[in-house]
């Protein structure tokens, strides 16, 4: 689907109303697709490697719909792969901030920042402030591992400069995954040490999952790196 306006909003059509009183978290998308081709992921596969946008107006209506609901939520979840990669994301951040200031119906915004730093992302950080962390999922900081998982084109130095610029607005958070091809105990510990030295106050992670449709799950890739499940 290239024209996302064909997809009705699950919120504005009322389909999600029955779930609002449950202890769940509202999730919205402002885009679909990802320009990166990480081998463990299917967000940017061949059919999704171009970013498609839901209209800003629709996003604003969904945020307003969620915020007006009588129930309060721990957080608002943005399911975009690279929030901030588009300049209009500054406007979306302003929409979320204004909604929070008016209704106080959520206390945190979970989002995944773009892996391609943009100057306007500083404006997003200023706008959201304490509502979110600067969340950059490095997955590993070892150059060999990054090459193996096709993240060698994601520039760590530029991302660190962005984190430094956002330091006065929000704390820094990252992911370091376990079980990546080429990773060793020593390289993983080194990644953890680097993350701490960069100023990350939250380091999350998890075991690699071989997702159907991902390059990492394909037989040649498994055999090349000796991946077993």
pLDDT at residue 218 above 70?
Answer: yes
Tell me the C-alpha distance between 215 and 37, whole Å.
Answer: 9
The helix (H) or strand (E) run that includes residue 219 is helix 219-225
Residues 92, 128 contacting (CB under 8 angstroms):
no
pLDDT at position 58: 97
Beta-carbon contacts of 207 under 8 Å, excluding residues fewer than 6 positions away, are: 177, 178, 179
Q: How confident is the model at residue 227 (pLDDT cuts 50, 70, 90)?
A: very high
* 121-128 and 89-103 helices, crossing angle to 10°: 0
Dihedral sign for Cα 168, 77, 31, 44, please.
positive
Tell me the C-alpha distance between 95 and 56, whole Å.
Answer: 9
pLDDT at residue 48 above 70?
Answer: no
pTM of the entire predicted model: 0.90
Nearest to 137 by CA among 82, 78, 76: 82
pLDDT at position 198: 86
Q: How confident is the model at residue 21 (pLDDT cuts 50, 70, 90)?
A: confident
The string of pLDDT tens digits covering residues 65-111 is 999 887 788 899 999 999 999 999 999 999 999 999 999 989 999 99
Tell me the C-alpha distance between 131 and 142, whole Å.
Answer: 31
How many Cα atoms occupy the beta-carbon half-sphere of 1 within 13 Å?
A: 10
More confidently predicted of 96 and 200: 96
Nearest to 169 by CA among 131, 216, 119: 131
Beta-carbon contacts of 1 under 8 Å, excluding residues fewer than 6 positions away, are: 7, 52
pLDDT at position 46: 63
The one-character DSSP state at 218 is S
- Distances in Å between the Cα of 47 and the Cα atoms of 27, 51, 123, 203 are 23, 10, 31, 31
The string of pLDDT tens digits covering residues 121-179 is 999 999 999 999 888 888 999 999 999 999 876 778 888 888 888 888 888 889 999 99
The string of pLDDT tens digits covering residues 184-199 is 999 999 999 999 998 8
pLDDT at residue 45 above 80?
Answer: no
Q: How confident is the model at residue 13 (pLDDT cuts 50, 70, 90)?
A: very high
pLDDT at position 3: 85
Beta-carbon contacts of 157 under 8 Å, excluding residues fewer than 6 positions away, are: none
More confidently predicted of 153 and 52: 52
């Amino acid at each position: 689907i290239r024209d996302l306006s064909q997809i009705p909003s699950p919120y504005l059509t009322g389909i999600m109303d029955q779930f609002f009183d449950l202890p769940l978290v509202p999730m919205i998308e402002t885009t679909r697709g990802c320009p990166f081709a990480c081998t463990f992921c299917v967000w940017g596969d061949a059919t999704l490697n171009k970013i498609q946008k839901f209209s800003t107006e629709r996003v604003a209506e969904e945020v307003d719909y969620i915020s007006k609901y009588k129930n309060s939520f721990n957080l608002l979840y943005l399911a975009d792969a690279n929030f901030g990669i588009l300049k209009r994301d500054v406007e979306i951040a302003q929409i979320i901030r204004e909604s929070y200031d008016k209704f106080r119906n959520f206390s945190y915004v979970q989002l995944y920042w773009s892996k391609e730093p943009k100057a306007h992302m500083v404006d997003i950080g200023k706008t959201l402030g304490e509502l979110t962390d600067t969340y950059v999922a490095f997955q590993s900081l070892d150059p060999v591992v990054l090459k193996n998982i096709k993240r060698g084109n994601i520039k760590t130095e530029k991302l660190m400069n962005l984190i430094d610029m956002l330091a006065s607005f929000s704390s820094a958070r990252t992911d370091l995954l376990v079980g990546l091809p080429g990773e060793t105990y020593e390289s993983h510990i080194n990644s953890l040490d680097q993350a701490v030295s960069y100023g990350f106050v939250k380091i999350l992670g998890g075991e690699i999952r071989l997702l159907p449709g991902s390059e990492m799950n394909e037989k040649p890739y498994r055999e090349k790196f000796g991946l077993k499940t």
